[in-house]
Each structure stands twice: as structure tokens, then as C-alpha cells.
Structure 1
């Protein structure tokens, strides 16, 4: 494989900044579109939307986000076995852009076919996501030789790019969609993806060399063949149990966390006083808070863990802490509905949502040891792909469950009371889960058989690990 020879920038291969830009613009498109989706569906026909009920919009949102987490399993398999990561990124970018621009077609041009065209757009986005997701970040590590000390910092830089895109997109795409025209917002998302695609098409050959061109499956096939016939040891069985247990518990966290794009979005739009000195803050802007808090707090949380040294909580305990923070975020929203007192005409302070997002982001940062990083540390080699698929499956399931929960908000005057009950129920469920995990933590660590002690407590490496997982906004580390 030919390594890139284009030189360095700030001490790193220029290819890192190409991948940074590509992923930043892809996340710009996706998170901007996601911020608009539910609001667009519930907007009246007169206002350019579809006039769906909240339940219908959240149901579709859940199905869509579930597909977003399932399609990378197919796209990753195609990239590894047939087309390679580089071509997968290009094909994915084309499909992504096409999907956004299809959503951006004015309804006046497709009278009578509006919903069919809308579904085509979402289908193209799902397919593009399947090919694109994970393939960009998988190239970052290949820019560096084994043992290169710059590798840790590279992933920190790369995942900051993800957060930058996720922060900017609701501000720009959301504003255009809510305040100007829904279709302009979707078109802006497509333009963002086109920028990332153009970077790949024009600079990849120079900055990446042959990295990612050849499918990677044949490189590891021989090693895997030697392991297929060997039975699992007791340690491997115990570690597999940990993965399965944490996968199931993760559903509860993400089902709550993913209310951000659904029920929290509705609450921001309909029940929050968004007026600041005569300017009405678009509801979509609140979805920038998570990325902003990650950029601000990830180094702080990482430093806290490192300074704790041997007293640093184990992964299961961090998971329990994440559930506590999740519960606190929902209890803040319960408080907001109590201020309303069941009156849909009363709008509450924006600070309720700000603090809810803050607590949920703290939970996400505590959850950082969980995800594919956990799978990669604990899974038996011959079952690594299968167990990664299991984790993806449960993450996808949690997104559908999030929408199912949100649908109970109902319509009209009952929405405030129902929202309060949902927030309270999820908060209590999160606390109960936290207690169960905390009481089980020692046993789970025992079943890890030493893998829990493998973490590097170097500040730079720890910072990279924290951001690598939380930067994707889904608790999934794409660094393998």
C-alpha cells in the first residue's frame, strides 16, 4: 500500500485534514436534515409541511433513524469485501447529496407525488449513510504507522471535526428551513455534503495515496480462518455476556437521549419561550447544544478520569453515572411541565432545555467507554463482526423505541401533561437502570477478565478515547 507523500500540516499528514473536512461536511448535512425532519412533518400544509400528527412524525423519525444505524452493517461489509473504503465514501456521498436534494424539491413541482418523493429522499439518505458511515474514520488510523505517537491526537482532531459540523448545521440548515423555506434547509444540507464529496474527489489521490482503495477483508481472512474451529474459552464466554448485557442496557440510555431529535424538538418548537430581545431562536438551534457541550466538556471529563488514577470508575460504573445524568435531564423537563401546569398556552424558559441537554451530554461523556470500543476489547476474534452487529442492532432498536415513547405525547391540550408523564417515566426508568448496573458492576468487571484494566491513563490517549466515542453522538467508536 502506498502511503501519501503530500507532506504534513501542523505535524500531521495532510490527509487527516482532508478526512476532517469530509466528515465535518457530511455531519453538517445529516444533523441539519435531522433537526428539520420532525418539525417539517408536523408543520401545516399552508406552512409548507405535511401536516402530520406528532405521533405520525415521531413514528417515521424513529424508523428512519433506526435504518441509519442498521445500514452501515451492509455498507461496511460491501467496503471490506468488494469496493474498498474510498469508493464507498464516494458512492455514499453521491447518494447522500441526492437524497438531500430530493427532499429539497419544491412541492409545486411534484404535486400529487409529494410523499412518494419524500420517501425516496429518505431512502437515498439511508443508503448513502450505509456506505459512508465508519469508512471515513477507518482511514484515519491508516495514515499512521503502528506506534506513531501522533495517532491519538489525530483522532482528537478528527472527532472535533464531527462536532464542529454537528454544531454548525442546526444553526445554518435549521435557520434556513424554519425561517426561510423548508426546502432551502434540505438543499443547504445537500450543498454541505457536496463540499465534502468535492474534497474527496479532488484531493484524495494526493493526500491519501492508496489508503482505502483495496478492500480490507483479504488482509485478515487468513488470521480469522485459524480461529474459526476453536471453541470459546470460559473467559471469552464471560466477556461475550458482558457485551450482550451492556447492549441491552444501552437501549434505555439511547431511547432517552434520542428524544433530542423528536420530543425535545417538538417541545422546543411549541412550548418554549425562544424570544431573546425580539429575536426568536429557531427550535432547531437547541440541537447544537450537544455538540457544543462535547467540545467544551470532553477534555474536562477526560482530565477528571485521568487525575482520579486508580480510583477512576470502571466502565459499568460510568454507565450507571450516565443513566443518572440522563435521569437528571428528564427531571429538569418534568420541572418545565410543572411550571406550565398543563396549560399549552404557557411557554417556559429556554434554560430548561439548555440544562437538559447539558445533563444528557454529561451522560454521553460518561458512557464513552461503552460501544464498539467495548466490543473490540472483549469480543472473541471470530465473533467480533457479529457482536458489533449486535451492538448496532440494539442502537437501532433504541432509536425506534425513542420514537415509540415520544408518540404518547398525543395532540392538543393533552400534550403538556403527557410530556410530563413521559419525562418522569423515562427519568425513573433511567434511575432504576442505574441502580441495577451499579449493583452488577463488580460482577461485570469480573467477567471482563482483566480487559477493564487495559486502559491507557495517559491524558492525551484518554482524551482521544473520550472524544472518539462521544464525537459520533451515538456512543459508537469507529476507531478500530
Structure 2
């Protein structure tokens, strides 16, 4: 673990704010594309879209977002064993910038190769993301020594950077697509990725020092003096069990949450009354509700957790809360479907969507930054980026499932889908709450509540 305590800003290493800025523009790039992808696929070809059916578009969306979260496993392995995190981020960022500009290539250039260039752009984005995503998050953890209680707060700050980028992306990319066509939205994403690379290239050496240069496996071998791979200890095995079990519940959460970019995106476009006076709100702008609520609520939750002191919920309990909030969000969507009364020609109130995004955001804040922090606490150093990749792999499964679920709207109808997700999320949250103490026990001191759980579980073992 590295320390960069000599260079601080607001009580945190300055390197945190470099990583914050790098991730902000990378997420701007990603969400610029995500906000318009399904809309671009389903729009009529006369408007510059591809003219796909809703089912085709949502299936591709699920496959794409699934691969985005699957490839970090390989990117984490490459970084841990060969490239190091810093080189992986730069190579991954360059690939993603190339992907965005490939998507933005006008038909006058690609001609009959338009569909080929589209798939090539997606492939470059997927490959680049695999190298970038796990390593930027792992480097945040490396800024802090083991036991540093600033780490959870650091990931909350980092997560706000992610969502500030997302907030700007949906508005800017959505506006550009509305005014100048879909390709302009992809250009916005490419520019954002270039800004991310410039920031990382210009300031990493001075603000991060040696962090992320040497591959983690090689660094551990150098520090311990043992070149051969060491078997996992019992504590390490228990902690890895926690990561894997929590990942299962993460799948349930994100499978519901990721309806935002697919099914809920289409619902806002086709079935929602978006008129505000004489102005019709672009459907892509609803994608900004989630990051807006995160920026608004993250500081509130961070202060609340700190003031709770010893009464602060453990990570498994926070995850259970996240699932309950997800269920409440989909109850809002059930309300929207009931307002339609089975008549898909009826436009529903946009406030149902606002309520859904509000509760989903509360759930995200109880799960996503807490999960990132937890991985850096539980994963062995030599497997840090790989385990971060496996954590994102749960998102891969969830995004693929989300696409399958959303694509059945034509058969099952929105009411059945929204109600089914709400019930599943609530039951999963209840199950996690039941087994929370056992998971805390397996963490072996990674969280303050572990001693209490240790006593309880020892007595009941």
C-alpha cells in the first residue's frame, strides 16, 4: 500500500482529485454514448438512426453493457501481472476515444460499412473499458494505508466524480443529438475521453508518484521476497467468499437498476408526458436524474453515516437497504403502469419516473461506492485489480439479464415487469439482511462491526 500523505487537499491526498477528474471525463464519455445508444438504434433511418426494433435494440444494449462489465476481469489480470494500472488506464482510454470517434464517423465516409463501423466502435469501447475500469478504482484504494478511515469517504468523493460526468453527459450529448444528429452525441463522448487522457498524462507523475506503475503481483513478490505464488490464507479465503456472495446480490440490484438506460429510457420516450409548459423535455435528459440525485444526496448520506458512529450499518446491511430502495423505485413505475390502465396510447406523468430515479439513487449510494471500498479492504494485494474486475463482472451478468428482461415488454407488459423486479428486489434484500452477521464475521475485522459479529457467531457456531 502506498502513501501520498504529504500532498493533501481537504484532508485527502491530491491524487484522489486527479483520479476523480480522470474518471469524471471517462464517465462523461461512457454515459454520452449510453444516453443515446438505444434511441439511435430504434430511430428511423430517415433521421439517421438504424431503424431497429425495440427488442433488437434492448438485446444489443444488454450484450454491450454486459461485456463492458465483463472485460475488467481480463484488464485487471493484465494490469496486476504485466502492465501496471497506470499504463492500462492510458491504453484503455486511447482505445475508448478511438471507439467513440469510430461511432461518430459520418455515412459519407463509411458508406455501406456503416453497420461494420458501428460494431467496430463498440468493440473498441469494450476493450478499452476492460483496461480502464478496474484499475482507476483500485488506485483510489492504494492512496490510503490499511485501516485509514478516510477510505470510504474517498470513494464517495470519487463516486461523485463519476456521476458529475454522467450528469453532464446526458444533457450535453442529448442536446447535441437533438440539434445536430446522433453522430454529434458520439463526438461529445470522444472529446470527453480525450480530456480524461490529457488530465491523467499531465498530472499523474506529480500527484500519484509511484502508485500504479509497478504491477501489483510483482510488487508483492518484491516486498515479501517470495517470487512463487503463495496460497490463500484462511482469512483471505473467507474475505473472498464475502466478495463472491455479495456479488450475487449485486446482480439482482443492477439487473433492475440498469433498466434506466434501456426499458425506462424507451418508457420515457414513448409512454411519458414530457411536456413542461410548451417545452418537451428530451427523453435522454431523464438519464441525468440519477447523477443529479447522487450529487445532491451523497454528501447527506456521507455525513449521516459518520454521525451514526458505532450505529452505522455494516456493508451487508447497506446492500440490503439498497435492494429495498430499488423495490420502492419500481413501485413508482408500477404506479405509472397502473395510470396507463393497459392502454399503451396513454401518456403517464413524468413524476413517476422522477420518483423511481430518486429511490434507485438512494439504493445506488448504499451499494456502489460501499462495494468499491469493500473490495479494496477485502482483496489480497496481488489480486486487487482482478477482484475489482470480478466485482464488475457481476454487473456484466446483471446488464445482460437487464436487457433480456426489458426486451420482454412487448409480451409481458410494463406492469408485470415492474412489479416482478420490485418483488424480487425486496425478497433479495430480506435474505441478505438475514445472513448479514455471518458475512461480517467472514470479513475478519475489515469493518468496525466485525467484533460484535464475531462474538455473536462464535456463540452460535
Q: Which among 423, 427, 431 is matched to residue 422 of structure 2?
A: 427
Distance in structure 2 (CA, Å) of the matches to 1:143 and 1:318: 24
Query: Scaled by the length of structure 1, what TM-score is found?
Result: 0.83
Give the Å deviation of 1:441: 2.8
Which residue pairs with 1:80 in the alignment?
80
Which residue pairs with 1:436 in the alignment?
431
Which residue pairs with 1:316 in the alignment?
316
- The 5-angstrom pairing of residues 154-169 of structure 1 reads 155-169=155-169
CA contact under 8 A between 2:72 and 2:389: conserved in structure 1?
A: no
Equivalent residue of 2:435, what SS?
A: helix
Equivalent residue of 1:453, what SS?
A: coil
Structure 1 stretch 356-365 or stretch 296-305: which is displaced more? 296-305
Which residue pairs with 2:269 in the alignment?
269
Give the Å deviation of 1:250: 1.8
Give the Å deviation of 1:18: 3.7
Structure 1 stretch 439-448 or stretch 90-99: which is displaced more? 439-448
Give the Å deviation of 1:117: 0.8
Give the Å deviation of 1:170: 0.2
- The 5-angstrom pairing of residues 72-471 of structure 1 reads 72-140=72-140, 155-222=155-222, 223=224, 225=226, 232-233=233-234, 238-368=238-368, 371-378=371-378, 387-410=387-410, 418-453=413-448
Distance in structure 2 (CA, Å) of the matches to 1:16 and 1:382: 22
Distance in structure 2 (CA, Å) of the matches to 1:440 and 1:144: 30
Distance in structure 2 (CA, Å) of the matches to 1:127 and 1:455: 38
Query: Scaled by the length of structure 2, what TM-score is found?
Result: 0.86
Structure 1 stretch 217-226 or stretch 19-28: which is displaced more? 217-226
Which residue pairs with 1:467 in the alignment?
none
CA change 1:203–1:301 in 2 (3 A) is closer
Deviation digits for residues 390-434 of structure 1 (CA, Å, limit 9, x no counterpart)? 433322111100111111012xxx6xx611110011111112212
For structure 1, the 5+ residue unaligned runs are: 457-480
Kindly report the root-mean-square deviation, in angstroms, between the aligned alpha carbons of the 2 structures: 3.3
Equivalent residue of 1:25, what SS?
A: helix
CA change 1:114–1:377 in 2 (3 A) is same
Distance in structure 2 (CA, Å) of the matches to 1:419 and 1:232: 48
CA contact under 8 A between 1:35 and 1:261: conserved in structure 2?
A: yes
Equivalent residue of 1:162, what SS?
A: helix
Equivalent residue of 2:52, what SS?
A: coil
CA contact under 8 A between 1:103 and 1:183: conserved in structure 2?
A: yes
For structure 2, the 5+ residue unaligned runs are: 452-461
Deviation digits for residues 83-129 of structure 1 (CA, Å, limit 9, x no counterpart)? 33333222222211111111111223322212111000001111111
2:59 is the alignment partner of 1:70: no
CA contact under 8 A between 1:254 and 1:399: conserved in structure 2?
A: yes
CA contact under 8 A between 1:104 and 1:187: conserved in structure 2?
A: yes
CA change 1:451–1:208 in 2 (3 A) is closer
Distance in structure 2 (CA, Å) of the matches to 1:210 and 1:313: 35
Give the Å deviation of 1:169: 0.6
Distance in structure 1 (CA, Å) of the matches to 2:344 and 2:264: 15
CA contact under 8 A between 1:227 and 1:381: conserved in structure 2?
A: no
